[in-house]
Structure 1
Amino acid sequence: MSGKRRGWSDSAPLLAQQHSQQKSQHPYQPRSVSLEMTTSTVPATARSVFLGIDVGTGSARAGLFDENGKLLGSSSSPIQIWKDGDCVEQSSTDIWHAISAAVKAACSLAEVSKEEVKVAVDAEGSPVTVSWSGDSRRNIIVWMDHRAVEQAERINSRNSTVLQYCGGALSPEMQPPKLLWVKENLPDSWSMVFRWMDLSDWLSYRATGDDTRSLCTTVCKWTYLGHAHMHQNNEKDSRDMEACGWDDDFWEEIGLSDLVDGHHAKIGRSVAFPGHPLGSGLTSTAAKELGLVAGIPVGTSLIDAHAGGVGVMESVPLSDSEPKESDKEALCRRMVLVCGTSTCHMAISQNKLFIPGVWGPYWSAMVPEHWLTEGGQSATGALLDYMVENHVASPHLANRAASQRISLFELLNKILETMMLDLKRPFLASLTEDMHVLPDFHGNRSPIADPKAKGMLCGLTLDTSEKQLALQYLATVQGIAYGTRHIVEHCNAHGHEIDTILACGGLVKNALFIQEHADIIGCPIILPRESEPVLLGAAILGAVAARKYCSLHEAMKALNAAGQVIHPSKDPKVKKYHDAKYRIFRELYEQQLSHRSIMAEALE
């Protein structure tokens, strides 16, 4: 009989739960909150099979991996999303159904029987709305939701010491501002909630009935101080996961003192490293819903971007591997880009580095006993979709792409190649010399940390052709890459020594996107061998929970593998060109600040 391991990851939504009015093995119900998570499970059998589950913004995905980290099969199932202005919501019930469908389909495609898999998720309860609509299905506030900008500003104005560990200021994408918004705007929902959870932690709870939270979610999104947790627990039994890292003064200062009650029962009484085995594994209820076997080991979760980091950070070519004595130093020179709807920039260090405008330092939030630095761009894949879909030439171009059985972006890349040849340009990037994009259409997450920042597009004409759309698309790709260069340079200026980029996510399938990033950042970009590294990172948690490996890092080294390496152009003209455009990129935001000041003065 073969064994399976499983893990979870998601895009960090916030979820709320209330007491169930029906008899249930679970004491509380799901509510709308934004969550992120990865969970995993493993059985003791002849073959080791790992199952990873990733809940993204638009779908739930499941993937099965062998002992070498090779993908055996994967499947996805769409999830519903409601968008209304700055409010973005989802349903935990819908997400669980999507997970169940994806797991069953992945097992079928990989020809894996349920006895071979060891993974679990389980829970029952009634959702509580976090929506103005009052729709009880909408019990999740998605990570990209920006309804709590004003609450974030008020929290940041208090200069609490916990803010040191999130770049100096909370983002409206984090949980405290969202929680404060619910309390101030939906008091009935607030009074009904029995537990507030990250989606990833809820999924682990749903699978096992164990309410132990992850250091990843609590530290990165909830202001939990992981280093304080370790300091206070280091003399205790290793199984003691008492949540010692909450700063009660912070919650009281911002008006959420009720979250401290009952030894932090609503936000987490116990916190553990990612991959820590939960409860007795997968419950019988969850096993039945997922088509798996009860008792499979399930580990504490990771946020999806952090799962991507675990799934690729050791994916370096064998020829480039450093001797073991320098492993830690080499690991700390790498940055992982997880590129999807948004992009997260993950780097670790052995010492804590305080970097203004960049999230962290987070203790053990991704790789145990290392400090995590987390940069990010709130809109990347979403921005490219927006720029293309809102152009008048888009429908006709989409029809052409469909007739050629290629993606719209592949067709745009071909158009740009043809334009470069027809116009006798020295290199493709030079097509945008008159067009510049500031990609902050959903605010700036890093390193400026300005949620009020706006996008800018310079160089428009009356041209509505497909070629003009291709230029706007290329300029947007470049603007996103300049944003990443800004983050890398900012991190290096504050103590990091990043010289290698590893990238994963849907956008890395776009060759132009990756090449522009390599040319603009000036670093080689390594892609993983496997196409689903976030799922692999989640599955690694299962391997750790099943005691297949003694540590998360050991599992990463065993299961990560490198694929293609994209090197920056050696043409000095390309570097000179991008240096000039990067200078304009930086000036665009300064101009925006000036414009903002002028208008504020006019409206006084």
Structure 2
Amino acid sequence: MDHRAVEQAEKINSLSSPVLQYCGGSLSPEMQAPKLLWVKENLKESWSVAFRWMDLSDWLAYRATGDDTRSLCTTVCKWTYIGHSHMQYANEKDSGSMEVSGWDDDFWEEIGLGDVVEGNHAKIGRTVAFPGHPLGTGLTPVAANELGLLTGTPVGTSLIDAHAGGVGVMDCFSKAESKSADKKDICNRMVLVCGTSTCHMAVSKDELFVPGVWGPFWSAMIPEYWLTEGGQSATGALLDHIIENHACAPLLANRAASQGKSVYDLLNAILEAIALEAKVPFLAALTEEIHVLPDFHGNRSPFADAKSRGMVCGLTLDKSERQLALLYFATVQGIAYGTRHIVEQCNSHGHEINTLLACGGLAKNLLYIQEHANIIGCPVVLPRENESVLLGSAILGAVAARRYSSLRDAMSVLNAVGQTINPSQDPRVKKYHDAKYHIFHSLYEQQLSYRSVIAEAMQQQHQ
């Protein structure tokens, strides 16, 4: 959610370094190089005394084991580490770790951060390992005492939280599906890790370059697969914002608490009641007068436009719960149109995604999931284990403990299907969402035109 480094990201992207091709063509302000440059420019004292720079997941592993081995996931996805420079890597059954040679020192020098590569990259990581690689000798005595666990308990090299969710859900196949030995089955799937923001992750055996979508990242989630990572910077956070800033939010929250339900449960019930009263042909038709561009916190992909902003067409003076329910529903649809855009962008550049898998807090909202299925036209598979990020983390520990020989082996055993939500077969629903999807794109195009008009006016003032 930290977008302070927008200017730094723009500066770095203007230099057109070769590493950018593996980040969807440009670095996001959410990645570490722009953030580090922001710290260096704005917190000079902190910069001068920093001993190590780490992602949270790498810090936790270091804190637990004393081993400063970094994760291939964090370094490749966030730090511009070129993981595929190690295509001739040691087998996982051997060390699984690699002495660093995937850093592009010229890139760091060019952007003004040459000091992070000093001392053989000591500040950003000398050694990198695959997810699940056992670190050090396991938990140190101090960490074990603090956690109430045994000294030496195995600790696996980490994954970023959303990527752990991908590991916890991507190998969910129903009994009806053919689960052949061909591991390309998972290449037709995209995982949606739906929380405050949403990460969209797909894997492939070949490197596929998708403009505006992060990656391809080699072995960043599943060893030997290329990861493509799309995303929306605010989804759960956006829905909370829409609801909490409405006039009737306090009353709705109090009623939800008194009934032991969530606000979303109440809003979904209100929508069902409105649909029954209005006798609409299908639920989605309730939003025919409200259209939402959900970029309230910028567009992570595929526009890759941190300056994009949210837009709502169809506001009225109505302060009722009914109107809030409609605005909430239109926002859910706007988020789903954003996911459809990411899926279409990936499929137009070599992916063949035909199934979605969803986990995270928003995946518990069946209206949210059904709209995604209807709008994208794909079935959405929900895992049996709701907390897929925790399951993915457990899988890393199981691999580190040598319970399974590889991450894929652990996934195939521990991933399990819960429920599958299929898209509506009503042709009217598809036609309706196609029309609203067109409006979704036009909202962004209008914003670009407004931005251009204002920029021209401002430029004339300075002349």
Give the Å deviation of 1:229.
Answer: 3.0
More strand by share: 1
2:242 equivalent in structure 1: 387
Matches within 5 A, 1:8-157: 144-157=1-14
Question: Aligned partners of 1:311 and 1:401: how far apart in 2?
Answer: 31
Question: Aligned partners of 1:502 and 1:182: how far apart in 2?
Answer: 37
Is the 8 Å Cα contact of residues 292 and 330 (structure 2) preserved in structure 1? yes
Amino acid at match of 1:284: P
Q: 2:340 aligns with which of 472, 481, 485?
A: 485
Q: 1:201 aligns with which of 31, 35, 58?
A: 58
- Answering whether residue 175 of structure 2 is matched by residue 318 of structure 1, we say yes
Give the Å deviation of 1:273.
Answer: 0.2
Question: Aligned partners of 1:239 and 1:475: how far apart in 2?
Answer: 47
Give the Å deviation of 1:405.
Answer: 1.6
Q: 1:533 aligns with which of 373, 378, 388?
A: 388
1:447 equivalent in structure 2: 302
1:400-427 CA-partner distances (Å, limit 9, x unpaired): 2122221111000000000000011111
- Answering whether residue 136 of structure 2 is matched by residue 279 of structure 1, we say yes
Match of 1:531, SS state, is: coil
Question: Aligned partners of 1:556 and 1:329: how far apart in 2?
Answer: 14
Q: TM-score, normalised by structure 2?
A: 0.97
Match of 1:575, SS state, is: helix
Q: TM-score, normalised by structure 1?
A: 0.75
Question: Aligned partners of 2:50 and 2:175: how far apart in 1?
Answer: 50
Question: Aligned partners of 2:97 and 2:387: how far apart in 1?
Answer: 34
Q: After TM superposition, where is structure 1 displaced by more than 6 Å over at least 4 residues in a row? A: none
Question: Aligned partners of 1:528 and 1:581: how far apart in 2?
Answer: 29
1:550-593 CA-partner distances (Å, limit 9, x unpaired): 11001000100000000000100000000000000011000000
Is the 8 Å Cα contact of residues 97 and 130 (structure 2) preserved in structure 1? no
Match of 1:501, SS state, is: strand
2:220 equivalent in structure 1: 365
- Answering whether residue 150 of structure 2 is matched by residue 293 of structure 1, we say yes
1:212 equivalent in structure 2: 69
Q: 1:549 to 1:232 in 2, by over 3 A?
A: closer
2:351 equivalent in structure 1: 496
Match of 1:241, SS state, is: strand
Is the 8 Å Cα contact of residues 229 and 243 (structure 1) preserved in structure 2? no
2:190 equivalent in structure 1: 335
Give the Å deviation of 1:232.
Answer: 7.2
1:160 equivalent in structure 2: 17
Give the Å deviation of 1:149.
Answer: 0.3
- Answering whether residue 379 of structure 2 is matched by residue 524 of structure 1, we say yes
Question: Aligned partners of 1:332 and 1:239: how far apart in 2?
Answer: 24
Q: 2:107 aligns with which of 246, 250, 263?
A: 250
Give the Å deviation of 1:531.
Answer: 1.4
Q: 1:569 to 1:254 in 2, by over 3 A?
A: same
Is the 8 Å Cα contact of residues 232 and 244 (structure 1) preserved in structure 2? no
Match of 1:367, SS state, is: coil
Is the 8 Å Cα contact of residues 298 and 542 (structure 1) preserved in structure 2? yes
Match of 1:495, SS state, is: coil
- Answering whether residue 407 of structure 2 is matched by residue 552 of structure 1, we say yes
Give the Å deviation of 1:231.
Answer: 4.1
1:424 equivalent in structure 2: 279
Q: 2:31 aligns with which of 133, 151, 174?
A: 174
2:324 equivalent in structure 1: 469
Is the 8 Å Cα contact of residues 308 and 533 (structure 1) preserved in structure 2? yes
Query: What's the Cα RMSD here?
Result: 1.0
Match of 1:596, SS state, is: helix
Question: Aligned partners of 1:399 and 1:185: how far apart in 2?
Answer: 43
Give the Å deviation of 1:319.
Answer: 1.3
Percent of pairs with identical residues: 74
Matches within 5 A, 1:1-12: none
Q: 1:351 aligns with which of 196, 199, 206?
A: 206
Question: Aligned partners of 1:385 and 1:239: how far apart in 2?
Answer: 42
2:252 equivalent in structure 1: 397
1:200-243 CA-partner distances (Å, limit 9, x unpaired): 00000000000000000000000000001334778xx7455201
Question: Aligned partners of 1:322 and 1:241: how far apart in 2?
Answer: 33
Question: Aligned partners of 1:238 and 1:463: how far apart in 2?
Answer: 63
How many positions carry a matched residue from both structures? Answer: 457
Is the 8 Å Cα contact of residues 52 and 123 (structure 2) preserved in structure 1? yes
1:140-198 CA-partner distances (Å, limit 9, x unpaired): xxxx1011000000000000000000000000000000000000111100000010001
Question: Aligned partners of 1:241 and 1:173: how far apart in 2?
Answer: 26
Amino acid at match of 1:149: V
**356-365 or 239-248, which moves further after superposition?**
239-248
Question: Aligned partners of 2:167 and 2:271: how far apart in 1?
Answer: 35
Give the Å deviation of 1:322.
Answer: 3.0
Question: Aligned partners of 1:232 and 1:468: how far apart in 2?
Answer: 57
Question: Aligned partners of 2:377 and 2:97: how far apart in 1?
Answer: 45
More helix by share: 2
Question: Aligned partners of 1:335 and 1:505: how far apart in 2?
Answer: 14
Q: 1:229 aligns with which of 86, 90, 109?
A: 86
Q: 2:311 aligns with which of 445, 456, 464?
A: 456
**390-399 or 213-222, which moves further after superposition?**
390-399
Amino acid at match of 1:168: G
Is the 8 Å Cα contact of residues 339 and 508 (structure 1) preserved in structure 2? yes
Q: 1:169 to 1:542 in 2, by over 3 A?
A: same
Question: Aligned partners of 1:155 and 1:184: how far apart in 2?
Answer: 14
Q: 1:239 to 1:389 in 2, by over 3 A?
A: closer
Is the 8 Å Cα contact of residues 378 and 423 (structure 2) preserved in structure 1? yes
Amino acid at match of 2:229: E
Question: Aligned partners of 1:355 and 1:231: how far apart in 2?
Answer: 25
